[in-house]
Amino acid sequence: MNAYLSTSLFLTVLCLAGLWLVPRHRTPALLSAVLGIPGAAYSLIFVPTYWNPVRILALPIGIEDVLFSFANGGLVWLLVAVWTPGIRVSIEAATVAKRWLAVTAAFTLLLVVIARAGVAVMHAGLVGGAVILGAMLWLRPAYWPLAVRGAIAFTILYGAVLFGSLHIWPGTLSQWNTRVLSGIVFLGAPVEEMVWALAYGALYPVVMAFFLDARMSQRR
C-alpha cells in the first residue's frame, strides 16, 4: 500500500469515526465531505506540476484524491462545529447548490488565471483561496471565528497525520516537485503543505457556513 493511499484511508477513517461520534453535526459534516469530493479534480492541475504521487491505479483522478478530498471536507467541518457549540445551520438544497457552483467556479477561475500568469500552481491556489476567503468574510464577518478555529485545528490534525506518514514512508518526500518548492521543510514535509493546511482549514468551514447559512448563538 502506498503512502498517499494509506494517508487518505486513515483520514477517511478519522472522518467516518467523527461522523459516528458526533451525531449532532453528522448531516452538515457529511454534506461538507460530499461537497469536498469534486476538489479531487484539482489533481489535474496540481499533478505533476506541484507533486507526482504514487497511486494504486494510473488514473488522472485517483481513488486517493477522492478519499483525501472527502475526508478533509468532513473533518474540517467537524473540528470547527465541535469547537463552536452554538452553531446552527439551515440545509436548503437549492441554496447550497447555487452557492457551491458560484464559489467553485470563482475559485477555479482565479486558480487558472493566476497560474497562467506564471505563478506556481500551489501559490496560485493560495492566492485564489485568500481572495475567496476575503470575499466570504466581507459578506459574513461573523464567520471570522470559524476561519481561525478551522486554521488552527485542521493544521494541527493534518500536520500530525502528514508527519506520521512521512515517518513511515520517508521516500514519499521525493514525490513533490522540488523545483517549485521553497526548500523549507517543516516536520519532515515541505512547508507548502502546512501552509495549504492552514489555508484550507480557514477557507473551507467559512465557505460551508456560507452554503448552510450558519448562525452562531452569542453566549454571555
Are the C-beta atoms of 203 and 148 separated by less than 8 Å? Answer: no
Task: Calculate the CA 97 to chain-centre distance.
Answer: 19
- The three three-digit cell numbers of residue 34, written as one number: 460530499
- Averaged pLDDT for residues 101-115: 97
Q: What pLDDT, on a 0 to 100 scale, did the predictor assign at position 189?
A: 84
pTM, rounded to two decimals: 0.95
**Domains in the chain: boundaries:** 3-216
pLDDT band, residue 220 (cuts 50/70/90): very low
- Averaged pLDDT for residues 23-27: 96
Looking at the chain, how many residues does it have?
Answer: 220
Write the DSSP string, 40-78.
GGGHHHHTTTTB----SS--SS-HHHHHHHHHHHHHHHH
